Structure 1
Amino acid sequence: MIFFDFLLFNVVIIAGSITLFRIFRYKLADYSLIVSLLIGLLFYLFFPDTIDFAIVVLGTLSINTLYSRNSYVFIAILIFLTVLDGALNFSISPLLHETLSLGVGISISLLLSNSVRLMNLDNENERGKKKRTEVERDVVQIFSGIIILFAIILIPKVLLEGGLLLAILISIVLVNVAAVERESRISKAILHFERNNVQPGVGSLWFIAGLMILIALSLRWRVVEIGVFAMAIGDSLATIGGVNLRTKKLFYNHKKSIGGFLFMLIPTAIFAFAILGPLYVLLAVVATFAESISRYPVDDNISIPLSVIAVNLLISLL
């Protein structure tokens, strides 16, 4: 294992250095890889596991190269490392570090990669222009949230973390297929739910990153359930309510309405109260507020889980 760690560490450093050289040589002002290398090294200091370092960097590279066949290489390596690490550590610990590493790596690309930021901007500009598309997207997101919630409740924790991690990597592959193989059935099915003039799966990538960070950093699985409900169901209900109800705009964000705010807050608060009690209704309040203030370039699929994690940490310290 020592030789494997040494080899993997050097492979990632060399690959990252070559990519950085290309960035500066062709004057591409993209600092996401630099940040991922630094954060990957920080992860290595806290969790002395070379695989975690590699997953942060490879996660960033896989999204930076998305919508091209090059992305398949990085995703294939990520799947190999995940399976390998799961096989080596299955009886020792769940894959929380790997889940956090990949979530952080993807988030770095979404926030700092110039090409990905432009795709996010396109997605933001097209948001809400077609009512039917928005409702269809939210219905799919609600059903996805229900499936994830049932999985969290019914599947043992160790198996669930490994399964979700692999499912997320496969989802990224499908997003890439939708963009690269435009005539495939997968592409046509995914593109049906996408906004006009937007690359497929941009919103899904935010959801994936937020879900992984939520799973890795939440102190209790019940809190993960509240976060998933807020992200997948509450957020979708907010959009449906905001699109279909004519209510006043929020005074601090004129793109969001009071109706949408309440459509998310009330169901999420009821869910939090039902599974953890009255104190945890605060998670629903903060998650709804986080959704209502989210603006480009920070997506609500990141702000919601981060707010849930922060408030839960404060509650646990009381």
Structure 2
Amino acid sequence: MTSQRGERDYDVCLSFAGEQRDYVERVAASLKQAGIRVFYDDYEKVALWGKDLYEHLDYIYDKSAEYCILFASEEYAKKVWTNHERRSAQARALMSHAEYVLPVRFDATEIPGLRATIGYLDAQSTEPESLAQMIVDKLGPRMRKNFFPPNPDLLFEALSITDEQDLEEALSVAHAFMGALQRMTLDERKLIACLFCSYCPSELPDNVHQSLDLIHRLMGWPLQQIIDTLRGIRSLGFVHEVRHEDESHNDSVLVCQWNDMSVDSGLTDFAMLNSTWLAAEMMGLAVGHYCEGCAIKFIESLDFSRLSSATIETHK
């Protein structure tokens, strides 16, 4: 069981009767677009397949989310599974002594254990998209872990991409770079963040490069440690060389490329030509405006909320 904010599997879980699915589905879609981790049964069909649903749903509604959105209705009060979900959610609320169950009413039906004095929202007078925004506001700004937004429109804008096929390929490459970062050690991520956020752009999209001495000063690492660390992530697509600008070797430049080696992307034109450029833009947008302390938090969490206009406002 996780107990700290931001460490749970979901931001919200949705408990509702099937008769209200059309409304709840619009809420779930809006939440997903905003980067909210939402437990909605239609999004979890594969995960739920073969599980003991009685035990698993008890865990979901008791322990796995920051809030439970309970859609109260006459149908909700009569169904076996919704009452199982409700009891699990109410047990969590009782034990935590904190707001957890957030009711949304379709009618005035009495729901066992749901006191009339608990504040609720009226579904009849609230559009699903408006309700989703209220949920986003209730959650407030937060740091996500290993998060990539569904629609990284700010990344596409930075890359000046509008063609549909290029958008699809860029998204595939972006996910591959995210995967490469997830496979790194923390020190490897720190070095890539330093290099890909302080680079000279003159040779993009071919490579990013920077004075090796400057990287040494920014990182506080011995020069050989920098080289050895880059050598260790060749299997993740990073290729580097040290270019000497003069015969004395006093002005050495670290040159780095990243190549998308994922099976899904294959050798598309975009992947072959622009992988390094895309990686640099991703890191620059994600880290570029942070202080050093917040940049380290990003490197630890890999929260790419800042790549999307839909999720940047919900980012801590």
Give the structure-1-normalised TM-score.
0.30
More strand by share: 2
Structure exhibiting the larger radius of gyration computed from Cα positions: 2
Larger RCO (alpha carbons 8 Å, 6+ apart):
2
More helix by share: 1
Give the structure-2-normalised TM-score.
0.31
